Each structure stands twice: as C-alpha cells, then as structure tokens.
A = this chain, B = another copy of it.
Amino acid sequence: MELNKRKIDILKAIIHSYIEEGEAIGSRTLSKKYDLGVSSATIRNEMSDLEDLGYLIKPHTSAGRVPSDKAYRLYVDNILIDKNKSKYYKQIKKILQEDINEMEMFLRNSSRILAQLTKYTSLIIAPQFKKSKLKHVQLVPVSGRKVLIVMIMQNNIVKNVLLNLKTPIPENQLNKISNLLNEKLTGLRLDMIDLSMKNRIKKEIYSIRNQYDQKIDELMKVLISSLNEYDKIDVYSDGLNNMLNFPEYNDTEKIREFLSFVEDKDNIVKLLLKNTGEDLDITIGHENIFDEISKCSLITATYKFNGITVGKLGVIGPTRMDYKTAIPIVKALSNNINEIIEKNFKDQIKE
C-alpha cells in the first residue's frame, strides 16, 4: 500500500483541520469542510489505510482521527511549501530597525517579536563567547585590591569579571600584564585557550613580576580560572502565556509541566544547543529529547557571526503547530538577526 496523491491530499486536509481546530476530525466532517472530490465513505477507507501506515491516530473508537508525529514529519519535509518568507523578513526588519545598540535589549526585543508573530513561546540563546574571538583584554584598576577584567569580543560584546585580590597590585604593573595578555590572547577563541597556552602566559607574566612576587601569582590564578568561566549562557524567552490558548493546555497539570520545564534555563540551553549543524531544525513531538515536551514541536534556527554559529533562536508550541507560518517567521528573524549582528556588532575596520 503506497502513499498516493489522494492519500496525501486527505492527510494534508486532516493536518490543516487539526492545526486549526485542535480536534479530531472524521470522514464526514472532512468531506464537508474540504472539497476532496470523493465521498465520505472513500475518505473513510483512505483514513483507515493512513492509520495502518502510521500517519493517523484514533484517540478512541468513535472520535475521528488525529495526525501522528510521523504525519507532521512528512508534512514538514515533503508537503509544506515555505513561502511568505520575504514578507515576514521585511515586516521583522521594520520592527527591529529602531536603535540596536545593546545586545541584551536587542535579543529581548527579538524574543518578544518572535512570540508575538508566531503566537507561540519564543526562545533565544545569547551569543556564545567561546565561539567568538577575543579582541581586547583590559585590566582596569578599580581600587586597592580589586581589579576589573574587561574582555571585548570580536563581535563587540563586552564581559566583565571583578577580581578580589588578597594584596594590591600597582597600576603600571597591571598595564604591563594587560599588554602581555593582549599580545598573547587577541584573535583567539576562548575555548581555544588551552592549558599549555595558559602555562606559557603564566611564565611570561612571572618574568615581569620581579618585585611583586606572589601577588601576581594570585592574580594569575583568578584570571586563568575566570577565562574558563565563560560557559554561562543567557536565555531569553517570551510568550509563555501563549501556550494557554491551546486546548491541549486546559489542564493545570499540563501547564505546570510545561512551565516548570521552560522556567529552567538549563533545559532551554540543552534543548537549543542539541544540534548545531543545521541552519533550520524542526523536532516534532517524541523526537524531542525531553519527555516533558513530547507533545510539543520545536523550530530552531541559528544565527551567525563571521560565518560561525554563535547562537540559536526558536519557537516551541504544540505539535499541531502552524508550521506553515511559524517556519518562515523563524527563518526571517534568523536572517534579520544575522544581518544586524554583522552590521551593528562588527567593526567597520577589517581585522
């Protein structure tokens, strides 16, 4: 038994109906709602076949049928034609245009827009520094025993670490160390600074320490450990309450499950960073690695800086998600973010 055109048409109609209504549909209602050119009896037979093939599921004996994860997969991979992308691209571009200076605010806005346009819950991961190159390191003397390390990444994201030293280090000494660090570390990716390099830098710093002895030792210890510390990942999310519009979440227990899953940033990070290969990735229902969202689908896209993927964004919603609008919206936002990052967070000067 093969999947002929008529079967696909019927399946498509069922999927569209279910995405729209959220309720199982039977042969008769389907034949009235969509002009499929055959009677409800024929549809009935085809639906029975589609069930045997694993594309449809009966919630119970006389309730009509519902698309399976396999059906959505087929739909997304082979049936769906992705249009409107440029429409959304322009729309998003217009909204995002206004003053994009600070990465945090920019991502927060993007997240809000994504949730508003799709009506699902949006998720965005801030750029990962380890994947981006270091442009400038500066040790700023704050006062006595406090030193601020300012790291400026190639994408002009700035990160600070405040060090508490047991004993003060004079400013000129700090500048020397600053210069040395710059010389050695500029252009490197944070995750490429390995142990041997750290040891080399340490030795060189020791060579300028002369009168400051173990004080520099202490600085180095904190500094090196803080270089490793950059796996904190910021997550932005919006539109949690959008999920409550769906009848699949009319049960408090379901809401709680979803909410406590999404509230835990670790989950989101794991979810979004699961695969970094594809520019666009869709996981449907049980394909998800977490049981808590086995009735959800996730559409994610990457965003890049200098050709390297530095972050991800996406939407999560029920498996009966409106893929045909959500996918182009995610794509369009991802394209916009790519461009804005390249333009606004990159130096005009070639480096």
- In the assembled complex, how far is the CB of residue A180 from the closest CB belonging to chain B, in whole angstroms? 17
Measured CB to CB, the nearest residue on chain B to A244 is: B256
A162: interface (CB < 8 Å): yes
Chain B nearest CB, measured from A182 CB (Å)? 12
A238's closest neighbor in chain B, by CB? B263
A144 CB-CB contact with B under 8 Å: yes
Asked whether A150 lies within 8 Å of B144 as measured between CB atoms, the reply is no
Tell me whether A260 and B241 are in contact (CB under 8 A).
yes
Q: Is A156 engaged at the interface, CB distance under 8 Å to the other chain?
A: yes
- Docked-complex contact A143 and B351, CB < 8 angstroms: yes
Q: Using an 8 Å CB-CB cutoff, how does the interface string of A309-351 with B read, 1 for contact, 0 for none?
A: 0000000000000000000000000000000000010011101
Contact A140 B148 (CB under 8 A): no
Question: Are A232 and B105 interface neighbours, CB within 8 A?
Answer: yes
Q: Taking A347-B146, A349-B143 as contacts, is the C-beta distance between A244 and B252 under 8 angstroms? A: yes
User: Please, how many angstroms separate the alpha-carbon atoms of A255 and B251 in the complex?
Assistant: 11
For the complex, give the distance between the alpha carbons of A281 and B162 in Å.
Answer: 33
Q: B142–A135 contact, CB under 8 A?
A: yes
The interface residues of chain B lying within 8 Å CB-to-CB of A172 are none
Interface string of A153-175 (1 = CB under 8 A from B): 00010101110100000000000
Q: Which residues of B contact A162 (CB under 8 A)?
A: 101-102, 156, 158
Q: Is A259 an interface residue when CB atoms closer than 8 A count as contact? A: yes
Q: How far is the CA of A141 from the CA of B145 in the complex (A)?
A: 25
Copies of this chain, whole number: 2
If the complex has contacts A238-B263, A263-B241, are A144 and B255 also in contact, measured as CB distance less than 8 A?
Answer: no
- Residue numbers in B under 8 Å from A144 (CB-CB): 347-349
A136 partner, pick from B140, B240, B256, beta carbons under 8 A: B140
State the CA gap A347–B238 with chains docked (Å). 37
A347 contacts across to B, CB distance below 8 A? 142-144, 146
Task: Answer whether A240 and B263 are a contact pair too, CB < 8 Å, given A140-B150, A152-B140, A158-B162.
Answer: yes
- Beyond A101-B162, A148-B150, A238-B263, 12 additional pairs, beta carbon < 8 A: A105-B232, A135-B142, A135-B143, A140-B152, A144-B347, A144-B348, A150-B160, A239-B263, A244-B255, A244-B256, A250-B252, A259-B259
Q: Please list the residues of chain A having a beta carbon within 8 angstroms of any beta carbon in chain B.
A: 101-102, 105, 135-136, 138, 140, 142-146, 148, 150, 152, 156, 158, 160-162, 164, 232, 238-241, 244, 249-250, 252, 255-256, 259-260, 263, 344, 347-349, 351
The 22 sampled A-B contact pairs (Cβ below 8 Å) are A101-B162, A138-B140, A140-B150, A142-B152, A144-B347, A144-B349, A145-B349, A146-B347, A148-B150, A150-B150, A150-B158, A158-B162, A160-B160, A164-B344, A238-B263, A240-B240, A240-B263, A244-B252, A244-B255, A249-B252, A252-B255, A255-B255
